[in-house]
């Protein structure tokens, strides 16, 4: 029986790279996205070709009703869950000076980037605890995909930065709460990663990277993040629950 994993936002970008790594590690994987299932058939086929069972759980993790439906699907289709990867997140539709920021954008980002992962984790963690009680050798873990924006300020994306700072504390809260059950919780914190989310600012970051923004002079890739998650899921850091794994090319190193 294969171990199982659920990757939110797993149909593209960083989430898809994570799902690919987990399939290659022998996991049955559920991926999530807001697109209809007909739109991700090619993605599902590609993942299934790696040799494990892959399903799609359509829904908005920021919606209470959708979270309930997603977890019900996981329980029906898999019956168990070993790994939760909270990856889904959105950027603001429009970058705005914080002096002119809108409550609509703030509420959207907090709902999807913070409230969604927090209450999805509540549901999955409770399920993992039950599995731990029922199966003595059950192994579970939770991995949160954060952002350097948790500590690096982008004034025109204040709502995004605040949502990611909240996710960093979410990581610590669950690490402490689940420690008694030996369910480790980690944050992987990417830097500038080449995805569709950053496609609109390619020229900006090409220039900044060329000028020394990162100590490793290149963009990060979804595969870089996937490799970090793969290592955590494999159990390579068994005594590091609550820790942050930086995948930022050294961008956040203080330099003179």
Model confidence pLDDT, tens digit, residues 74-101: 999 999 999 999 999 999 999 999 999 9
Half-sphere exposure of 15 (CA within 13 A, CB side): 26
**CA-based R_g, the chain, Å:** 18
CB 145, CB 139: distance < 8 Å: no
Active site annotation includes 160: yes
Q: Which residue has the tokens 């204040």?
A: 158
What was the pLDDT predicted at 193?
96
Q: Phi first, then psi: what are they for 233, rounded to 5°?
A: -65, -35
What was the pLDDT predicted at 196?
82
What was the pLDDT predicted at 68?
98
Q: What tokens appear for 37 in the block?
A: 């299932």
Is pTM, for the whole model, over 0.75?
Answer: yes
What was the pLDDT predicted at 201?
83
Q: Phi first, then psi: what are they for 182, rounded to 5°?
A: 55, 45
Q: Which helix (H) or strand (E) holds 104?
A: helix 103-110
Question: Which residues of the chain are modeled with pLDDT < 50?
Answer: none
Supply the angle between the helices 41-48 and 13-24 in degrees, to the nearest 10: 30
| Pairwise CA distance, residues 154 & 134, whole Å | 46
Catalytic choice (118, 160, 205, 239):
160
| Pairwise CA distance, residues 153 & 76, whole Å | 42
Q: Which CATH number fits domain 4-247: 1.10.10.10, 3.40.50.880, 2.60.40.10, 3.40.50.720?
A: 3.40.50.720
DSSP lists the bridge partners of residue 167 as: none
Half-sphere exposure of 116 (CA within 13 A, CB side): 29
């Amino acid at each position: 029986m294969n171990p199982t994993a659920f990757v939110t936002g797993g149909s593209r970008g960083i989430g898809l790279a994570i799902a690919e790594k987990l399939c290659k590690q022998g996991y049955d994987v559920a991926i999530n996205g807001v697109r209809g299932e007909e739109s991700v058939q090619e993605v599902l086929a590609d993942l299934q070709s790696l040799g494990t069972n892959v399903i799609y759980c359509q829904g908005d993790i920021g919606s209470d009703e959708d979270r309930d439906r997603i977890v019900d699907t996981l329980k029906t289709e898999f019956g168990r869950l070993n790994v939760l990867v909270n990856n889904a997140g959105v950027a603001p539709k429009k970058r705005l000076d914080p002096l002119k920021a809108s409550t609509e954008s703030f509420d959207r980002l907090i709902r999807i980037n913070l409230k969604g992962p927090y209450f999805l984790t509540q549901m999955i963690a409770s399920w993992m605890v039950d599995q731990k009680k029922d199966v003595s050798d059950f192994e579970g873990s939770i991995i949160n995909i954060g952002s350097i924006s948790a500590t690096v300020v982008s004034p025109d994306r204040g709502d995004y930065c605040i949502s990611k700072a909240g996710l960093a504390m979410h990581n610590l809260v669950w690490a402490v709460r689940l420690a008694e059950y030996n369910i480790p919780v980690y944050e992987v914190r990417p830097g500038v990663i080449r995805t569709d989310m950053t496609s609109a600012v390619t020229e900006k970051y090409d220039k900044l990277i060329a000028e020394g923004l990162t100590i490793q002079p290149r963009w990060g890739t979804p595969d870089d993040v996937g490799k970090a998650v793969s290592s955590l899921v494999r159990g390579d850091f068994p005594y590091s629950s609550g820790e942050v794994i930086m995948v930022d090319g050294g961008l956040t190193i203080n330099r003179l």
